[in-house]
Chains A and B, each alone.
Chain A
Amino acid sequence: LAKTTQPISMDSYEGQEVNITCSHNNIATNDYITWYQQFPSQGPRFIIQGYKTKVTNEVASLFIPADRKSSTLSLPRVSLSDTAVYYCLVGAPIGGATNKLIFGTGTLLAVQP
């Protein structure tokens, strides 16, 4: 199973763009990269998933370089409500062949006014 490494914490201010990078040096050919968000006392919430290049949805963008050994979650114009822990996972895609999904320690993003 591919292991991921993320910064433990990051600080930002409202209105700024935030980029959180995840390292996954031993990612397998069939692995996808998935990001989750977790607020205190709640279960994680799926944000975005990708395999290569760039994926964008209504809340975030995911950038994956050609070697796929890292990925960057980009949150545009963060607000106070984006303060949460963000997890990067590497493994089977949502809806694809099932295997274990292992969470790392995540990145605590603190957004200040």
Chain B
Amino acid sequence: NAGVTQTPKFQVLKTGQSMTLQCAQDMNHEYMSWYRQDPGMGLRLIHYSVGAGITDQGEVPNGYNVSRSTTEDFPLRLLSAAPSQTSVYFCASRGADTQYFGPGTRLTVL
């Protein structure tokens, strides 16, 4: 049981590049979400999903896409990276008694 895993741990992009941050959970949780955390700030909700095939926007969805084709996976796509998207990204999965967060992906956009 690995919990919530995220890849990569670190990533550097150039402005305009696209990439996908991977998130997977092995706890059969329906609810998954993506947050970003800027230095010295709290977490802000980007997108979330309440089950396979169902996604919705959070507080700061612009510039990001998500899909949920399986219960286990919830990838986050950056369509055209911008320096303002430099942040640490956390994926979370929620079950019956707690919410688990992944270790995070530290993204730098130059």
Q: Is the CB of A94 within 8 A of B96?
A: yes
Give the CA-CA distance A100 to B44 in the complex, in Å.
11
Q: Is the CB of B31 within 8 A of A98?
A: yes
A-B contacts counted at CB < 8 A amount to 55
Q: Is the interface of A mostly helix, strand, loop or mixed?
A: loop
Q: How many residues in B have their beta carbons less than 8 Å from beta carbons of A?
A: 28
Please, what's the 1-or-0 string for A96-107, where 1 marks a CB less than 8 Å from any CB in chain B? 001011111110
Pick from A10-18, A38-46, A61-69, A75-83 the stretch touching chain B. A38-46
Closest Cβ–Cβ distance, residue B25 to chain A (whole Å): 12
Residues of chain A lying within 8 A (CB to CB) of residue B43: 44, 87, 103
Report which of A41, A105, A106 forms a contact with B104, defined as CB distance below 8 A.
A41
Known: A94-B97, A95-B96, A98-B50. A104 touches B102 (CB 8 A): no
Q: Is the CB of A98 within 8 A of B30?
A: yes
Please, what's the 1-or-0 string for B26-56, where 1 marks a CB less than 8 Å from any CB in chain A? 0000110101000001111100101000001
Residues of chain B lying within 8 A (CB to CB) of residue A87: 42-43
- Which of B's residues lie within 8 Å of A, judged by CB? 4, 30-31, 33, 35, 41-45, 48, 50, 56, 58-59, 90, 92, 94-104
